[in-house]
Amino acid sequence: MRATVVDGRFQLVVERGLIDVHIASSGRFGPSIDDVLHNWHDFLLELPILLAAPTHRAQDGATDGLLTGSRQVFAVGLNYRQHALESGLPLPTVPLVFTKYPSSLGSPRGTLELPTDAVDWEVELAVVVGPGGRNITPDEAWAHIAGFCLAQDYSARDVQMAGGSAPQFSLGKSFRGFLPLGPFLVTPDEFADRNDIPIGCSVNGVLRQSSSTADLVFDVAELVAYLSRIVELHPGDVILTGTPSGVGLGMRPPTYLRPGDVVETHGGMLGDMRHDCVAGDPPFGSTS
Ligand code: ZN
């Protein structure tokens, strides 16, 4: 199943158009994606009937940000083997977890404000949690995953690395619009191999990142299990699974986004994102 959000309303995506889930279910599910995620198990039982409902719109309207109500957003560093090599660092022995604050959630289309001159791109596969829980085993993990979506983990490297021995990952990656998600939520059964999902991104038409989640150090089920041993997962929580090689930080010299640059992010069945970079307000009022 593929789904999206238009004007805050959860929509199923079928070949002939979009199905508004709230209307199709006579008000039982939705209209928000958060409501559907909180009732995910019942929603899946009803899904075959909902998929046969009349469509209300053409597919083209599917440009909104997917999630706005996530309570927790987890991100994982150095989780692609090739990216760890590029960084010159050994493969991690446990997932390296930080957070992006949910106020950074944004739209898959539109402008990206650059608050500093060191904003980098990081294409990622995002896991969207359906039924939450604690102490979920790797075998149980898939039952807690509503689906996948495409993400960018935009990162202001100067803010991220400030602080020396205590780098500020969470703040450096949480400016406005630094976590665009979408345009589609896709259930794992749609993929030929749910552990081999291609993602990539281009800057000004030049391909910078291209990989597959088959290169993950800790796969999706392991991440869900690991996190849930420590924190409770809630419906709508997001887990960013890491970025492959090819970020601007890894270039010689490091190369970051400039006003006028265009970032196009590709996710096959997950859809595409496009962001037009514009100058933003500097975070500390400096004009350097
Ligand atoms: Zn990342």
Residues 55 and 33 sit within 8 Å (Cβ to Cβ): no
- Look at 74-88, 106-120, 173-187, 212-226 and tell me which has the smallest mean pLDDT: 74-88
Question: What is each CA distance from 71 to 96, 131, 148, in whole angstroms?
Answer: 20, 14, 17
Dist. CA 136–CA 133, nearest whole Å:
7
Cα-to-centroid distance, 99 and ligand 1 (Å): 10
Cα-to-centroid distance, 247 and ligand 1 (Å): 10
Is the model's pLDDT at 142 over the cut of 90?
yes
CB atoms within 10 A of CB 204: 13
Residue pLDDT, tens place only, 230-285: 999 999 999 999 999 999 999 999 999 999 999 999 999 999 999 999 999 988 87
Is the peptide bond between 183 and the residue preceding it cis, with omega within 30 degrees of 0?
yes
Q: Tell me, what's the pLDDT at 286?
A: 57
Dist. CA 104–CA 126, nearest whole Å:
14
Cα-to-centroid distance, 100 and ligand 1 (Å): 9
Residue pLDDT, tens place only, 180-208: 999 999 999 999 999 999 999 999 999 99
Cα-to-centroid distance, 88 and ligand 1 (Å): 16
Q: Tell me, what's the pLDDT at 62?
A: 55
Q: Which two tokens stand for residue 148?
A: 């996948």
